[in-house]
Amino acid sequence: MQVERISDTYHRIVFSDGNELFLIGTAHVSKDSVAEVASIIDQESPDRICVELDEGRLASKTRKQSWEDMDIRKVFKEGKGFLLLANTALASFQRKLGAQTGANPGDELLGAVKLAEEKGIPLSLCDRNIQTTFRRAWARSSLWKKCKLLATLISAAFSDEKISPEELEDLKKQETLEGMLNEVAKELPSIKEVLIDERDIYLASKIYAAPGHKKIAVIGAGHTNGVISTLGKLESGSAVKSVEELDTVPKGSGIGKAASYIIPTLIVLLLVIGIAANGWDQGLRTFLYWIAVNAGGTLIASIIAAAHPLNALCCAITAPFFALNPVLGVGMLGGILEATFRKPKVRDFERLNDDAMRIRGWYGNRILHCLLVFFLSSVGSMLGTFVAFPLLISRI
């Protein structure tokens, strides 16, 4: 396999069978990338176009969805609240960058799709389903890493930092991207592996398997080196993870499930020890202290989230008992009740992306507000649990 680097963002790859691949690395919110993709497609006249999209993301970008397409209460019941929150925050960050540069996220990908349709060129969607990617990342992350990921995404979504078109174009340079990805790997190695490394393999495998003698592939610049490296391995017959393997969501390990029972077990153990050491009266008072601290933390967090008053009260009352059951969570209850008391409307879904870029939007948009209540009530209960530990120990 021969690789010719035409520019920082553009490579020509010739395989041993003579087939050609023109690999274009783009910034997903760059006007220049949109123009570059269109120019190269016109110039090279490929017999197939491959893009970094999956069927779900393409559909969401090309057709208007109705509110009936999303049941927010079902999302919480299935335990996907954190996934939707992370996905929304990431989309908000990309949309905010696009607003600064005048390009919507993924315009260059949609441009390639449109040109394929206009010119009658076969199209291959080569990316992994975004929900599979997030679920794999979530399944492989500890509670602390999940909190770091959410904090990073949410802070990025609300950041007022401006980025110039020149700085954005600089992000497409390999040395800049490699430095950024190395920093991500240090802080969140499992997240980087799922979001970047696995998708490098997935994209390369799909692009390599796509039929055609002269193909053009449009991918994010951050995947360029990884895709080229994987293409070399596929060409030489070296082993790489299969697409089927990367499309599965790993089940939680027995150790992980056991770890989720540690905190509830410790709480119950401390209460039992307190009763044994100080009698039923003192043990009951200790239990009531535990309830007060946990319920209080949840109530304060729910008030900060501006939850419906009845919802805030229900969350506060049930939080101590949900904390003892790792299968359930007060955030799930809070999200479901908020969607029940304040049912989202069609316009909330239609304005979802725009509202997600502003703090006020997370309170005004009923879908985002459900996510906010879900998240803050979960955090409030968690903080209440940790604050209660020293109190329980001191009363033994």
Extents of the domains making up the chain: 2-251, 256-394
Mean per-residue pLDDT, 319-348: 82
Give pLDDT, residue 146: 66
Give pLDDT, residue 395: 62
Give pLDDT, residue 175: 47
Q: 50 pLDDT exceeds 70?
A: yes
* Residue matched to tokens 């990884």: 226
Give backbone dihedrals phi and psi of 10, rounded to 5 degrees, phi first. -140, 120
pTM of the predicted model as reported, rounded to 2 decimal places: 0.69
Q: 67 pLDDT exceeds 60?
A: no
Q: 68 pLDDT exceeds 60?
A: no
Give pLDDT, residue 129: 86
Q: 177 pLDDT exceeds 50?
A: no
End-to-end CA distance of the chain: 70
**How far apart (Å, rounded) are the C-alpha atoms in residues 100 and 342?**
33
Q: Which DSSP string do the residues of 68-134 spell out, in sequence order?
A: GG--HHHHHHTT-HHHHHHHHHHHHHHHHHHHHHT--TTHHHHHHHHHHHHHT--EEE-SPPHHHHH
The H-or-E segment that residue 11 falls in is: strand 10-14
* Residue matched to tokens 């100080």: 278
Higher pLDDT, 96 or 304: 304
Give pLDDT, residue 167: 55
Mean per-residue pLDDT, 154-161: 60
Higher pLDDT, 187 or 34: 34
**Out of 258-272, 351-365, 373-387, least confident range:** 258-272
Average pLDDT taken over every residue of the chain: 79
Burial 32-45 (b: 16+ CB within 10 A, else e): bbbebbeebbeeee
What residue ranges in 243-380 does DSSP mark as E strands? none
Q: 115 pLDDT exceeds 70?
A: yes
Give pLDDT, residue 384: 84
Q: 211 pLDDT exceeds 70?
A: yes
Whole-number percent of the chain with pLDDT over 70: 72
Higher pLDDT, 273 or 149: 273
Give pLDDT, residue 193: 82
Give the burial class of 166: count Cβ atoms within 10 A of its Cβ; 0-12 exposed, 13-18 middle, 19 or more buried.
exposed
Give pLDDT, residue 257: 57
Q: 306 pLDDT exceeds 90?
A: yes
The amino acid at residue 312 is: A
Give pLDDT, residue 157: 57
Higher pLDDT, 306 or 105: 306
Give the contacts of 240 (CB within 8 A, at least 6 positions apart). 201, 204, 205, 230, 233, 234
Question: Which tokens hold the place of 308?
Answer: 């419906």
Give pLDDT, residue 207: 96
Burial 181-200 (b: 16+ CB within 10 A, else e): beebeeebebbbbbbbbbbb
Q: 184 pLDDT exceeds 60?
A: no
Give pLDDT, residue 75: 76
Question: Which tokens hold the place of 334?
Answer: 């809070």
Give pLDDT, residue 66: 43
